[in-house]
């Protein structure tokens, strides 16, 4: 398949970053691409591929080398998520959750004992998940009802979590519960929970529209026993853990959506060059050319917004507004690009014989998880108005 995007030099990438991007791209094309359709149909991610993610050091990109990680910056995680998502959004989100949510939470809030116990595992073979959402707390994340009661040297957790990515395969969960509902957000506490803990159970797996190979499940906690030493950060400070981690995670979703849009448009460009009507490729018609030009421009804008947010994060500069902008704009661009590519394919785009419809299905989640588009607009508005 021709790659129009690779022909445009990305001068903002260093030689090291470009080599890394190219290696992930080659891996995704060679190893993931042949399995995309079967994994989507089965609703299950190939376990051998997951093992290869660890072997390629894609699951501990920011984890220091002293813990067995790659010791790279946040921007490298963003590149990996984008390139994997160009081929399969499910692959992208698995790596995204691991790096931008789970590992980042441990790196930012874990004490030295927790880092020693978990970071080497996360880098070498243990998949993680991030458990915040509940039936009654989605956008209003701090309305969660899962309760944690201190009994001796353990917390006893009871409640239910929904929409948890990586839940089937994960062994370690960053999970949020309240120690006292009367305290509101000041009662929320983050816990490191292992799947083997008594009282912890993975429940129903969702049958989803898109990113079908990525597992999304409910979690059930019935008198789940969690040692006190597995509190992540301070008791009652879970709201800070969740807010700061999700700010980083939104850049990852921006990268996922850029990847989805890029992969879709690659196929669209190839198709319009090959499809002939009225004795010539449809790419020669101005109507098609203008559509492709507009989509490519919006995609590049989404990419640069996402890259900028990631650069700011690595530079330890404020990035919350830019992260919200990247997620908001990239998710809208992905939906527009993938929808338009379906139309470029015509009737073929509406069938599963071609990849256009899968990219379209995969794009929709970008506006929903890790903060809906409306929540991103609210964040952007507050910060912009506050600056004036």
Q: pLDDT tens digits, residue range 216-262?
A: 999 999 999 999 999 999 999 999 999 999 999 999 999 999 999 99
Q: pLDDT tens digits, residue range 12-26?
A: 799 999 999 999 999
Reported as half-sphere exposure (CB side, CA atoms, 13 A), residue 5 has a value of 26
Total structural domains in the chain? 3
**281 and 150 housed in the same domain:** no
Considering 236, 259, 288, which residue would you say is the last residue of a domain? 236
Kindly indicate the confidence band of residue 5, based on its pLDDT and cuts at 50, 70 and 90.
low
**152 and 229 housed in the same domain:** yes
Res. 10: pLDDT tops 60: no
Least confident of 39-43, 132-136, 286-290, 320-324: 132-136
Kindly indicate the confidence band of residue 142, based on its pLDDT and cuts at 50, 70 and 90.
confident
Q: What is the model's pLDDT at position 11?
A: 47
Residues annotated catalytic, as ranges:
370
Task: State the CATH number of the domain containing residue 169.
Answer: 2.40.110.10
Considering 179, 208, 236, which residue would you say is the last residue of a domain? 236
**96 and 157 housed in the same domain:** no
Task: State the CATH number of the domain containing residue 319.
Answer: 1.20.140.10
Task: Give the residue among 331, 323, 328, 329 at the shortest CA–CA distance from 363.
Answer: 331
Tokens representing 126?
């243990």
Q: What is the model's pLDDT at position 9?
A: 46
**122 and 133 housed in the same domain:** no
**117 and 136 housed in the same domain:** no
Res. 324: pLDDT tops 90: yes
**232 and 249 housed in the same domain:** no
Task: State the CATH number of the domain containing residue 84.
Answer: 1.10.540.10
- What DSSP letter does each residue of 84-131 carry, written as one string? HHHH-HHHHHHHHIIIIIIIHHHHHH--HHHHHHHHHHHHHT--EEEE
Could you tell me the residue range of the domain that residue 210 belongs to?
Answer: 129-236
Res. 143: pLDDT tops 90: no
Res. 6: pLDDT tops 70: no
**222 and 288 housed in the same domain:** no
Tokens representing 164?
């948890």
**246 and 371 housed in the same domain:** yes
**79 and 18 housed in the same domain:** yes
Q: pLDDT tens digits, residue range 56-101?
A: 999 999 999 999 999 999 999 999 999 999 999 999 999 999 999 9
β-pairing, 147-151 with 276-277?
A: unpaired
**139 and 93 housed in the same domain:** no
Distance from C-alpha of 331 to C-alpha of 326, rounded to nearest angstrom: 8
Res. 139: pLDDT tops 90: no
Q: What is the model's pLDDT at position 206?
A: 97
- What DSSP letter does each residue of 18-72 carry, written as one string? HHHHHHHHHHIIIIIGGGHHHHHHHT---HHHHHHHHHTT-S-SSS-GGGTS---
Task: Quickly count: other Cβ atoms within 10 Å of residue 102's Cβ.
Answer: 26
Contact 349, 356 (CB under 8 A): yes
Share of the chain above pLDDT 90, in %: 94
Look-up of token digits 């990268």 = 255
Share of the chain above pLDDT 70, in %: 97
Contact 110, 232 (CB under 8 A): yes
Task: Quickly count: other Cβ atoms within 10 Å of residue 324's Cβ.
Answer: 26
Q: What is the model's pLDDT at position 141?
A: 72
Task: Quickly count: other Cβ atoms within 10 Å of residue 74's Cβ.
Answer: 22
Kindly indicate the confidence band of residue 54, based on its pLDDT and cuts at 50, 70 and 90.
very high
**274 and 339 housed in the same domain:** yes
Considering 100, 127, 154, which residue would you say is the last residue of a domain? 127
**269 and 362 housed in the same domain:** yes
């Amino acid at each position: 398949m021709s790659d129009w995007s690779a022909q445009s030099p990305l001068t903002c990438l260093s030689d090291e970053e470009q080599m890394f991007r190219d290696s992930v791209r080659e891996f995704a094309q060679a190893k993931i691409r042949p399995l995309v359709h079967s994994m989507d149909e089965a609703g299950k991610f190939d376990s051998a591929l997951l093992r290869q993610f660890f072997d390629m050091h894609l699951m501990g990109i920011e984890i220091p080398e002293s813990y067995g990680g790659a010791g790279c910056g946040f921007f490298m995680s963003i590149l990996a998520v984008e390139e994997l998502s160009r081929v399969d959004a499910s692959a992208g989100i698995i790596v995204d959750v691991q790096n931008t949510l789970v590992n980042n939470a441990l790196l930012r809030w874990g004490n030295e004992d927790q880092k020693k116990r978990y970071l080497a595992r996360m880098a070498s073979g243990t998949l993680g998940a991030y458990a915040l959402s509940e039936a009654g707390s989605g956008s209003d994340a701090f309305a969660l009802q899962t309760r944690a009661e201190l009994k001796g040297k353990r917390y006893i957790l009871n409640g239910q979590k929904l929409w948890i990515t990586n839940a089937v395969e994960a062994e370690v969960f960053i999970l949020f519960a309240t120690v006292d509902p009367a305290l509101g957000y000041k009662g929320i506490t983050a816990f490191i929970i292992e799947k083997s803990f008594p009282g912890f159970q993975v429940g129903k797996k969702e049958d989803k529209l898109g990113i079908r190979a990525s597992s999304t499940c409910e979690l059930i906690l019935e008198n789940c026993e969690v040692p006190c030493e597995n509190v992540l950060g301070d008791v009652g400070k879970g709201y800070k853990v969740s807010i700061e981690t999700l700010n980083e995670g939104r850049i990852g979703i921006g990268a996922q959506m850029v990847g989805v849009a890029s992969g879709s448009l690659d196929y669209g460009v190839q198709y319009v060059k090959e499809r002939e009507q009225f004795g010539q490729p449809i790419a020669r018609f101005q109507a098609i050319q203008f559509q492709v030009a507009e989509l490519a421009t919006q995609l590049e804008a989404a990419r640069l917004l996402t890259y900028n947010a990631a650069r700011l994060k690595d530079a330890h500069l404020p990035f919350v507004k830019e992260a919200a902008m990247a997620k908001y704009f990239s998710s809208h661009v992905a939906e527009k690009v993938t929808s338009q590519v379906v139309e470029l394919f015509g009737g073929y785009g509406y069938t599963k014989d071609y990849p256009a419809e899968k990219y379209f299905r995969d794009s929709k989640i970008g506006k929903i998880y890790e903060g809906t588009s409306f929540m991103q607009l609210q964040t952007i508005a507050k910060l912009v108005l506050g600056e004036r």
